[in-house]
Amino acid sequence: MSVGASQYKGRTCTTYVNMQRSTIRLLSGASPAAARRVAAPLHVFRNYGFQPEKAKQGYNLTFTDHAAIFEGRSTSDLLRALLVLRLCATPPFVTHSAALLDSARRLLGEKVAMSAVHESFYKHFCAGKEAADVWARMNALRAHGIGAIMDYAEEENLRKLSKPQHQVQAELVSAPAVTGTDAGTITGGTSGTGRYAVISAREPLGGETINQSPAAAPSYNYSLEQNACERHTTAFLAAIDTAATLPGQGFAAIKLTALGDRGLLEHLAAAVESVRELFKVYDLNGDGYITEAEFDECFKKLAAEQGSASSTDKRKELWKWLDAKGEGRIDYMCWTQRLDLENMPSLAANLEKQARANGTVRPWHLSSSEKEELKALLGRLERLVDRAVSKGVKLMIDAEQSSLRPAIDHIAHELMRCHNTVHDGGNGPGEAVVFVTYQAYLRDAQQRLAADLERAKRERYTLGVKLVRGAYLQSERRRAAKSGVSSPVWDHIEETHASFDACLDMLLGAVKDGRAEVMLGSHNQASVEAAVAAMARLGLEPDEAPVYFGQLMGMADNLSFTLGHHGYKVFKYCPYGSVEKVIPYLLRRVNENQYILKGGKLDMALLWSELWRRALHDPEHSLLARIVAPIQKSSSSSSSSSSVSLR
């Protein structure tokens, strides 16, 4: 007979967890210690009836109950966590972490060095090597009302596969000019009217290049990189399949750079940004609209500057394509809606007067091999999305460096337009399947989010958003300094906090209106408290509203477990992969200095408090407590006897 939570009304959440753990042990026949190591049968969590305490409107959550937060964790796990967080809070260690790892590999050997990493940072921040290996960790989380986000964290340096620049240039020179017929669509051989339709890009939509990307110059040999990308795709598919078997809503996270050529994505991103910036060129009076007269004037001027012909028929044909509704003017939303990914490099090519002959700046046109690489990347992505849709899993596209953002965002919005809508006869926004990530530390995050919410409203799809502060702060600043441009990230953490809060308010309002779903990825307690308060104010029920909270494994357990105990939809990122290939991920966690300086200190304080509690008062975990307990019991009995005799 399954145990229903209603039969135990009034008991604490800890009681439910203890009962669930006992049930797992009974069903598996394992000892208490073994039960924590063995994955429980799935039906235990589907039929058990565990229902955490439901949060009340305006309820003030307490994030410092260390006994409840760490219940079920072994003392050795807590000691490891304390060591790892202590090292992450040591500035010299953080600054030289990569160099220290290289030295350990050189002096101790690869095997010993990786073993040390595995027993410390890997076990703290990662869930296992394969998707199937993380079941025990996921079961332990589920016992506290916490879901798991499958996150394949392996990273490889695909730049090892690059071809010499002179070979790339030779391909570009020998390649035929791209036209509306030979550009085609490159998503599995679909026609020009498919998901990524293309029109002729020979017309002079622009003038001078707005945004060149010298960093995108290397190209990659598809035949060499395909094995790594296919392996990543297989791992992502396994993550989706595993997420589908979990009770409750399943999530999986993917990275586009794991599916294809990073340099190609940078090149596409620069082209996308250039074509979007072109809107400002055509908007002659700066009123936010391009009229047909402005388009004609600018079109003829740019054509003359480039020394190309500009016929009236061609201008009218192109304007008719841009102004699909025939309103006589277009705004930025219409402009971006008409831009197709495969068309971007060719459109951006028209921003140049001509490619530089010396090869120091790369022409926009894609080489033949790059077209094949793009086709393969989009094909892999479609396989993942189709699997997620068929399995009922939500797919989150992770953010990466800002140099890739325009291409990633463009791809994500095309996918959302196809999948985040009501099907089977419906004609409005539906459940979000695809989520894209917004990083609040980028200066333009708030403006882009507002524009994208408007775009989603106009095109009648639900915007799926994962909101984070950002994880590439130092690399963004280094890249900007090297390029001699202003940094794309805010200078001060307070500005990032303000951007995050503004984006959160905007998103929760959209959730209330049924126009968005949001995954709030934050280790900041103030942000979580603000979100909880806003949900209460807007009447968004924790167990019903599509508002999800997410934290990384090994970080902010006090937030995750407290939210889970009170019925909020909270998830832990469960990164997995071989220890050697998740080193970049682990190094980023070590460098989360803003978190360690604030939230990490609270984590360590709670760990110390729990370790002291166990040492002095928990006989199950401490020999000292087992020795002291009889003495305390005897002392208590003596005190009771004395009280009776006095009466």
pLDDT digit string (tens) for 52-98? 554 444 457 888 888 888 888 889 999 999 999 989 888 889 889 99
* E strands, 261-362, in order: 289-291, 329-331
Lowest-confidence segment of 35-49, 68-82, 131-145, 534-548 by average pLDDT = 35-49
Q: Are 196 and 185 in contact (CB under 8 A)?
A: yes
Give the pLDDT confidence score for residue 46 in this predicted structure. 31
| 324 vs 46: which has the higher pLDDT | 324
Could you tell me the sign of the dihedral formed by the alpha carbons of 100, 104, 110, 115, in that order? negative
Give the pLDDT confidence score for residue 203 in this predicted structure. 30
| Residue 163 binned pLDDT confidence (cut-offs 50, 70, 90) | very low
User: Roughly what angle, to the nearest 10 degrees, separates helices 262-282 and 368-391?
Assistant: 90
Q: Which residues of 546-580 are buried (b: 16+ CB within 10 A; e: fewer)?
A: bbbbbbbbbbbbbbbbbbbbbbbbbbbbbbbbebe
Residue 23 Cα distances to 37, 40, 73, 297, 620, angstroms: 15, 10, 18, 76, 19
| Residue 300 binned pLDDT confidence (cut-offs 50, 70, 90) | confident
CB atoms within 10 A of CB 229: 21
Lowest-confidence segment of 344-358, 406-420, 457-471 by average pLDDT = 344-358
Helices (H) and strands (E) in the chain, counts: 29, 12
Span 325-352, mean pLDDT? 66
Q: How far apart, in whole angstroms, are the C-alpha atoms of residue 263 and residue 159?
A: 8
Q: Are 122 and 616 in contact (CB under 8 A)?
A: no
Per residue in 543-561, pLDDT tens?
899 999 999 999 999 999 9
User: DSSP readout, 387-398?
Assistant: HHHHHTEEEEE-
Give the pLDDT confidence score for residue 252 in this predicted structure. 93
Average pLDDT over the chain, rounded to whole?
A: 74
Decide if pLDDT at 22 tops 70. no
Decide if pLDDT at 382 tops 90. yes
CA 510: distance to chain centroid? 20
Give percent above pLDDT 90 in the chain. 33
What six digits make up the tokens of 225? 């990189």
| Residue 386 binned pLDDT confidence (cut-offs 50, 70, 90) | very high
Lowest-confidence segment of 200-214, 275-289, 313-327 by average pLDDT = 200-214
| Residue 343 binned pLDDT confidence (cut-offs 50, 70, 90) | low
Decide if pLDDT at 609 tops 80. yes
| 337 vs 447: which has the higher pLDDT | 447
DSSP for residue 79:
H
Give the pLDDT confidence score for residue 256 in this predicted structure. 92
Give the pLDDT confidence score for residue 545 in this predicted structure. 94
Residue 470: left (phi > 0), alpha (psi -120 to 50), or beta?
Answer: left
Decide if pLDDT at 600 tops 80. no
Per residue in 255-296, pLDDT tens?
999 999 888 898 888 877 877 777 787 888 888 888 888 888
Give the pLDDT confidence score for residue 138 in this predicted structure. 84
Give percent above pLDDT 70 in the chain. 68
Give the pLDDT confidence score for residue 427 in this predicted structure. 58
Span 241-246, mean pLDDT? 88
Q: Are 149 and 131 in contact (CB under 8 A)?
A: no
Lowest-confidence segment of 141-150, 352-361, 448-457 by average pLDDT = 352-361
Decide if pLDDT at 239 tops 50. yes
Give the pLDDT confidence score for residue 233 in this predicted structure. 93
Residues 6 or more apart from 480 whose CB is under 8 A from it? 486, 487, 488
Span 192-202, mean pLDDT? 28
Does residue 496 sit in helix, strand or coil?
Answer: helix
Give the pLDDT confidence score for residue 12 in this predicted structure. 37
Give the pLDDT confidence score for residue 305 in this predicted structure. 63
Q: Hey, which of 384-393, 453-462, 587-596 has the most confident mean pLDDT?
A: 384-393
Q: Are 126 and 553 in contact (CB under 8 A)?
A: yes
Decide if pLDDT at 24 tops 80. no
Q: What's 333-370 look like in SS3?
A: HHHHHCCCHHHHHHHHHCCCCCCCCCCCCCCCCCCHHH
Give the pLDDT confidence score for residue 637 in this predicted structure. 58
Span 219-243, mean pLDDT? 77
Q: Hey, which of 48-57, 85-94, 212-221, 530-539 has the most confident mean pLDDT?
A: 530-539
| 294 vs 645: which has the higher pLDDT | 294
Q: How far apart, in whole angstroms, are the C-alpha atoms of residue 241 and residue 248?
A: 14
C-alpha radius of gyration, the chain, whole number: 28
- End-to-end CA distance of the chain: give it in Å, rounded: 49
Give the dihedral of Cα atoms 471, 475, 479, 482; nearest 10 deg.
150
Cα Dmax for the chain: 112
Give the pLDDT confidence score for residue 388 in this predicted structure. 95
